[in-house]
Structure 1
Amino acid sequence: MKTWKAITRRVAEFNLTRTYLVALGACALAAVVLSFVPLLNLVGYESAAFFGVLAGLLSTGLTVADARRFDTLDGRALDFGRLALRNLALLVAPLVILSLNGLRVPNCDWGAGLSFWGLIPVMAVLLGTASAWMAVTLLRGSRLSYVLAFGLPLLDAAGLAWHLATQPPIVGHQWFLGYFGGSIYDEALAVPLSLIAYRVLHALAIVAVVAALDARRRWQQGARAGWTAALALAAALTFAVGFASRQEAGIAIDRDHIVAELGGVIETDHFLIFYPQTRAWQSMAPLLAEDHEYRYDQLKRFFGTDPVAEHGRKVRSFVYGDRDSKGALMGGRNTMVAKLWLHDMHILWRGTGDRMLTHELAHIFTEPFGSGPLRLSMQRGVGVNMGLVEGVAFAAEWPARELDAHQASRAMRELGIAPDLGALLGASGFWTQASGRAYTLMGSFVRYLIDTYGIARFKEVYGDGDFEGAYGKGVEVLVGEWERFVDALELSEAQREVARYLYDRPSIFAKVCARTMAEWRRQAADASRDGQPAEAILLLQRVLDAQPDLLWAHLEQASALAQMGEMDEALDLLRARQKLPLSPVERAELEALMADLLWKAGLASQAAQSYASCLEVGVPVDLERSLQMRLRYARREQPRARSYLMDTPGGAMAMYRLMRWDEESPDDPGVAYLIGRRLWQSQEWGEARPWLERAYGSLGVEVLDAEAALMLGQVHYFLGRAQDAQTLFEDLSRSPLTRYREEARQWLDRLQWKRNSIENGER
């Protein structure tokens, strides 16, 4: 009995109350549950964010409750330290459980995972303890202590929500959550430098508060407090300096900061376009403005709405120079964003005709018939209907691809990889699918509804998701109609295999170490581009150690080995992969790389045979063009061709090699095609024209002739030769190749828009 009383007294001294033990159990139970939830089931960003919120809130409540019960807090730094250690113990069981779960599910980067845990839940517990300790110290344990202790982090959470809603960034920071990563489609994630800077500010704030309150207690008791007051002042001043420059560190970036960083601005009839103020971008500015205005007119015709005229405010378009700058300024390296309630969109622009501009602008055109404060599609007023939100943007964009959305949907259904369309109509069902499948299927369904029943009825259903009210039919009936429509389309075996290659991919929730793998792949690509293939090989080996069957990792590792001159080792690696099961397109990818290595080794005839076998199956258009050009010259064993196609450096040296090649083969349309393509990519329209004219219609391969026609038509357009462009695009619009046919129709529409603009005196 005496022993039990001693234990009880000891527990009381450390405030290990029943409530605390329940909280400890709750954290452990949560970890057990999360062990079966993808992304959250390992020591990484998602689990760190979850326990940052849970443990932060529990620490806050426990500190206030125990302080009021035991009445021991009077501002002593020692009390804060004791409570902080006790509250940090809440994280021990979850960390152990999720670490042990690493024996069941792969955890590829313990260093990054533990770093996230140190920066998010550990700091969240310290912040929760500090806010509660400050509240009970200042308010002497009154009930208002709860209001102050919880009010501070809740106000911070509200501030983050307000910032995300009213400012450009889709990422942000919050006391307990730590870092909000924005789009789930940006899989690559390392510990952000902004999160480190954010937590440094928090550490300074905690030191300042603890030292200041301890100094206050000492003064009240008549003791010396000079050093604690000095520490509080130093920490507070350092915090103030850091807080003033927080945007440079990537924290709470606002619109004004982004505008200043980009530097360039164009105002048109419907847009304020902010773009990088560099010489290259300034030369493209007129085309950038024209492309925006054309897309606006195109979508106005599609939707029958004019959001600028309706609201009297122009669309703000933020155009970023590259993925890295976009990620640093507003988040989402790979995700384009439209905040339609703000009339803002954030994009990368790869030149006139870039369809992503259309997609994001389409979101803004839906604002007049959306609902709720964000003007989105709602499910009877509850929850956002992401299937319709993204589906209508895809339907309006209607990208020119090897397969249009209807054909791709037909193929996915036949291959058994199409998710249930009804599930995609909800927010969670849409995001849990791989983006390629979800966007394409919903784009096809929405385009079918608009083409069959008209845009007016779709506007009715978009606001609240009431299909019965808008169409007089339930969603199940409409889905059945769409299924019969796409199932009636005819597809070749080659098209099915291209669809399998493009769409049979797992979502982020089904991937092994999705965040880490994507980050390693990004780093490896950067290393190869920067001439560091050995570093790329090491990174790719980490990927393969975690998941040995990833074909892309083997291909990229072989390419890096070849970059180092290790041809035999690269070929052995690829030959080993040949023995494993692969889809026809995957096998073509592998054999194409093997053929490249054989050609580099001087075995042109073997390379030609491999290129030819790759082309016997259906492959994506970009790969087909590359294979056809390589096959053309491998058969001829042309040294100049091998030198250019296999080992081309960038810049002037590439053009030098091409011009020397042309001197030796002045009648070769393939060389003219390659020179014209280089000049077209550099937007040297006048210089590109004679070369593309020489190549056009002379290559003898359908896909290469179609590409030459498309480039030459664009050159004529940019040079103001409208009739020549019209003729070329009309011929190309009858091409059997879906991608080029759709591209040509878009350019014909653009030509007509430009004529109308000139006739109306708008340009």
Structure 2
Amino acid sequence: MGGPVAFELASVLASRAQRIGWISSALYLLAIGFLPLLGGPRYEAALVAGLVVPAIAAVTCALEGARAPQAGAWSPLDALLRGLLAATGHALVLLVVALVHGARAGICEPGAGFLLLVLGPGAGVLLAGVWGAFVGCALRGRSRLAVIALALGAPLLAVGVSLVRFVTSPMVFAFDPFVGYFAGPLYEVVEIPIARLCTYRAGTLATVLAALCGASLLERRGEVGGLRVRRPLDRRGVVGLGFFGALSAGLAGAGAQLGHFSTDASIREALGGQLSYGRCDVVYADSLRRAEVARLARECDAHLAQIERFFEAPGPDRVTVMLFAHAAQKGRLMGAASTYIAKPWRREVYLQPSGFPHPVLGHELAHVVAGSFGAGPFRVAGPLGGWIPDPGRIEGIAVAAAPRDDGNVDLQQWAAAMRKVNLLPPLERVFRLTFLGESSARAYTVAGAFVSWLREDQGAEVVRRWYGGASLEVLTGHDLGQLEERWHVHLDAIPLPETLLHEASARFEQPAVFGRQCPHLVDRLYQRAEVRLGLQDPAGARRILDEVLELEPRHGGAALLRPACSLREGRPEVALEEFDALARDTSRTSVERARAWEGAGDAAFLLGRDEVAFDAYTMALDMTVGEHARRSLEVRRWALRAPTRARKAIELLLVGAATTGPQWDLAAPALGGWMRGGPEDAMARYLLGKNLLARGHHAAAAALLEQSVFEDAGSSLPLSSVRTEALRAALIARCALFDAGAARRTYELLVEEKLTLGQRRGLARIAERCGVDPGVVAPRPDDSSL
């Protein structure tokens, strides 16, 4: 069944072709290892290695088999075994270089990292070696170009299959026989599905064994050209080929069930539910409440009308929303567990429930509507007719067309603040692939702010045609640099409070994912620490936080969570000291210091040190811009001087007991008791209403929220920010109930409040989607700049 050459390592080591291949792989891996996130055994390194190293192995094995003089003496089985041995050399090079770069740059997850290299490109390169050896046998004596083309054919075909699945189905992940595993979104916290990768590689092993058994049944026609079946057939080879071939085919056929791939049909079947409203078809997990799905369908239809008005152009006749039960289901069926996705060419968006109104539904629908005037097969902006995506234009147009409704700072203010603190990147870096090198917060905001300004300055048609591929210089008479200068003049004229500048520095100075050492591991660990603390396991959370801080010593979230652990351990005195030290550390960002002051206020609240708590909350307020965070601080500060029952209810709801944290199940009856009458009755109604709204009890929430702001409720809300939020929450509750009349009355009260321009615009968008005409949205003389 084969000569001894198949097992002679010295012969393989002496092969000039194989030495060139191993050196090529080593040089490539050494070079890419100096790039961000590509040094050492980790997901990104495995992905980039898998794109090239198996191709090198396939080509070198194929060329040796087709061109080396001595190869004509090898049987097909000898050749494949030799290819497998040569490919093992590439796999060893892969592991050794990963170890070298890991020693230089640090190894994030040695166990998982090396396992991913072995199961990903490591297994893929072995398959490539077998394939290349087969090509060499089959094309013995043929031209070098033909050999190389066929050797690369299988890796390219595998990538092509993944691309076809990406285009023809919702899925964004891929299992590739040569590359290994591709998770999909760049900003996702990557969780490697080791079990699914193992079952996938079981198929690879079966394929290799089937190929070896098949090779044992073949022989060469002669020194040059072609293979033929040996006579008589070897029974062991036939049985092996049948068994392993059937196993390989069976695993491939069960790929959808094993989670190796998905199709449109398999995802629809797994979700099970379907509902339509207006132009929106919602395919949803049948575990979701139908009323919740109907609400999202109506919201989708209303968003489409708003987005089309922004673009001054129609979108598609129908749009499909795939609504998964939760992130885990979405991640298994299509990838992108925590990342919301749209595919404009399929006119589909992919979400999981996230309350009402959904925070990103409009953004994803904007991608789909923009596809109506996008370019290329994916209906997006970019060079070469959209074949190379421009993420700046793609994301910027969606951010501008559907900004968030719940912020008090608008896009232009954020961009102006970035410019003021020297964090505004040049547009030439934003509107090209270098967009991905910026932090997502900075890149998305800048792109959206410029597109928003461009529409105001040049009109919607210019935005549409630029997105479709036309040159800005042709459309406007100005190139991007000249338009950027004019935009900067506009930004410089925007008044900015000092607190916004501090928050902009903290919000936008964070490095991109490519600028961090072990971002995926750090983010996973931090999330686990939050979960452990939420499960009242502060000791477990502290152990995980120690790992986070060892990997990323300046991780602000981890630094702030450590004193929270002390609080949950029943040591509020220690927590207060730790929070106070962080708050006074001027090397920390203003956002981190504000959160530390907030934590110090909570610890002092529980200790009964009301003046210390009051001062800490005030310091936090002075450093905080976000309206939701500010309002929570104001309510806790107000509670310090409120009657006992009001203070206790707010303590349970927003501060919590030292060892348990906030507890709704204990706070609810306390709020109910407080609500039975008294001078602070309105605040109790507001807090109950807000929490019922968050839990989807819209009718009860609407009643309580409206009562909290009406004169006959027996009291008035003590904070203007709370009154504004009570009206805003009541508007949302009425919209969720499809009660346009009540929504209109609430909106009319809201616009009389002192608001920021960002708030006015957000509220107008919400009201419009409820069927309320918001009229002209403009700032009032007494409005706040924030």
TM norm. shorter chain > 0.5: yes
Q: Which residue number corresponds to residue 3 of structure 1?
A: none
Mapped contact 2:652–2:662 kept (Cα < 8 A) = no
SS at match of 1:294: helix
For residue 680 of structure 1, the aligned residue among 688, 693, 696 is 693
Partner of 1:179: 181
SS of equivalent residue, structure 2 residue 291: helix
- Per-residue CA deviation, residues 690-711 of structure 1 (Å, 9 max, x unaligned), is 4213432733323222111101
Q: Retained in 2: the 8 A contact 1:48–1:121?
A: yes
Q: After TM superposition, list the pairs within 5 Å mapping 1:591-740 onto structure 2.
A: 591-636=597-642, 638-647=647-656, 652-663=665-676, 667-696=680-709, 698-719=716-737, 721-733=739-751, 735-740=754-759
Evaluate the alpha carbon distance shift between residue 140 and residue 744 of structure 1 in structure 2; reply closer, same or farther with a 3 A threshold. same
Assess if the C-alpha contact under 8 Å between 1:376 and 1:463 holds in 2: yes
Residue identity matched to 1:118: V
Whole-angstrom distance in 2 between the partners of 1:573 and 1:319: 43
Say which is worse superposed, 607-616 or 695-704, in terms of deviation: 695-704
Deviation digits for residues 496-544 of structure 1, max 9, x if unmatched?
1222232221111111211221222233334444454443332222111
CA deviations 1:582-604 (Å, max 9, x no partner) are 23332110121222233334444
Secondary structure in 2 matching 1:615: helix
Does structure 2 conserve the Cα–Cα contact (< 8 Å) formed by 1:275 and 1:281?
Answer: no
Taking the aligned partners of 1:507 and 1:127, their CA distance within structure 2 comes to 35
Partner residue of 2:552? 547
1:272 aligns with 2:272: no
In 1, the alpha carbon distance for the partners of 2:79 and 2:571 equals: 63
> CA RMSD of the aligned region, Å?
2.9
Q: Deviations over 1:531-580 (max 9, x none)?
A: 54443332222111112221101222333443344545544543553453
Q: Which residue does 1:497 correspond to in 2?
A: 502
Contact 2:343 2:349 in 1 (8 A): yes
Paired position in structure 2 for 1:4: none
SS in 1 for 2:651: helix
Task: Report the more deviating stretch, 359-368 or 93-102.
Answer: 93-102
What amino acid maps onto 2:404 in structure 1? Answer: P
> Are the equivalent residues in 2 in contact too, given 1:292–1:357 (CA < 8 A)?
yes
- Which whole-Å CA distance do the structure 2 matches of 1:223 and 1:240 have between them? 23
Report how many aligned residue pairs link the two structures.
740
Distance change (3 Å), C-alpha of 1:708 and 1:65:
same
Is 1:73 matched up with 2:74?
A: yes
CA–CA distance in structure 1, aligned partners of residues 624 and 583 of structure 2: 18
1:67 and 1:566 map into 2 onto residues whose CA distance is 71
Alignment of 1:473 onto 2:478: yes
**Unpaired segments of 5 or more residues in structure 1?**
1-9, 757-763
Quick one: which of 742, 746, 752 aligns to 2:765?
Answer: 746
1:40–1:416: structure 2 CA closer, same or farther, 3 Å change rule?
same
Q: Output the TM-score relative to the length of structure 1.
A: 0.90
Which amino acid counterpart does residue 375 of structure 1 have in structure 2? R
Matched, 1:241 2:258: no
Aligned-partner Cα distance in 2 for 1:192–1:95: 18
Aligned to 2:595, which of 579, 589, 597?
Answer: 589
Amino acid at match of 2:606: K
Instruction: Sort the Cα spacing of 1:531 and 1:245 in 2 relative to 1 into closer, same or farther, 3 A.
Output: farther
SS in 2 for 1:120: helix
C-alpha distance in 1, partners of 2:258/2:129? 26
**Displacement, 1:379?**
2.9
**Residues 429 and 219 of structure 1: is their aligned pair in 2 closer, same or farther, counting only changes over 3 Å?**
closer
**Corresponding residue for residue 90 of structure 2:** 90
- The within-5 A match list for 1:13-28 is 13-14=11-12, 16-28=14-26
CA offsets 1:149-184 (integer angstroms, 9 cap, x no match)? 432222111111111122111111222221222111
CA distance in 1, matches of 2:82, 2:381: 50
Tell whether the 8 Å contact from 1:315 to 1:344 is kept in structure 2 after alignment.
yes
In the TM superposition, 1:279-294 aligns within 5 A as 280-294=288-302
**1:166 pairs with 165, 168, 171, which one?**
168
How far apart in 1 are the matches of 2:166 and 2:427?
Answer: 30
Q: In the alignment, is residue 412 of structure 1 matched against residue 421 of structure 2?
A: no
Correspondence 1:486 to 2:505: no
Mapping for residues 503-518 of structure 1, pairs under 5 Å: 503-518=508-523
The 1:16–1:528 alpha-carbon spacing in structure 2 relative to 1, beyond 3 Å, is farther
2:121 is aligned with what amino acid?
Answer: P
> Residue 307 of structure 1 corresponds to which residue in structure 2?
315
Check the 8 A contact 1:30/1:94 in 2, yes or no: no
User: Does 690-699 or 282-291 show the bigger shift?
Assistant: 690-699
Kept in 1: contact 2:680–2:717 (CA 8 A): no
Cα distance, 1:741–1:223 mapped onto 2, change above 3 Å: closer
Q: Letter of the 2:246 partner, please give it.
A: L
- More deviation, 172-181/577-586: 577-586
Contact 1:380–1:466 (CA under 8 A) maintained in structure 2 = no
| Match runs of 1:64-463 below 5 Å | 64-68=62-66, 69=68, 70-71=70-71, 72-76=73-77, 80-137=80-137, 148-214=150-216, 220=230, 225-226=235-236, 229-278=238-287, 280-309=288-317, 314-379=318-383, 381=385, 383-400=388-405, 401-426=407-432, 428-463=433-468
Going from structure 1 to structure 2, the CA distance change for 1:273 and 1:474 (only over 3 Å counts) comes to: same
Query: What is the distance in 2 between the residues matched to 1:443 and 1:230?
Result: 62
TM-score computed with the length of structure 2 as normaliser: 0.87
Give the secondary-structure state (helix, strand or coil) at the position aligned to 2:491. Answer: helix
TM-aligned CA distance change 1:120 to 1:530, over 3 Å: same
Shift of 1:443: 1.0
Distance 2:31 2:738 in 1: 64
Structure 1 contact 338–346 (Cα < 8 Å) conserved: yes
Which residue does the alignment assign to 1:6? none
Give secondary structure in 2 for the equivalent of 1:369.
coil
- Range with bigger deviation, 364-373 or 694-703: 694-703
Classify 1:339/1:416 alpha carbon distance in 2 versus 1 (closer, same or farther; 3 Å): same
Q: State whether residues 212 and 232 of structure 1, in contact with CA within 8 Å, keep that contact through their aligned partners in structure 2.
A: yes
Gap regions ≥5 residues in structure 2: 1-7, 220-227, 711-715, 776-786
Partner in structure 2 of residue 50 of structure 1: 48
Query: Could you tell me which amino acid in structure 2 is paired with residue 701 of structure 1?
Result: L
Distance 2:757 2:212 in 1: 67
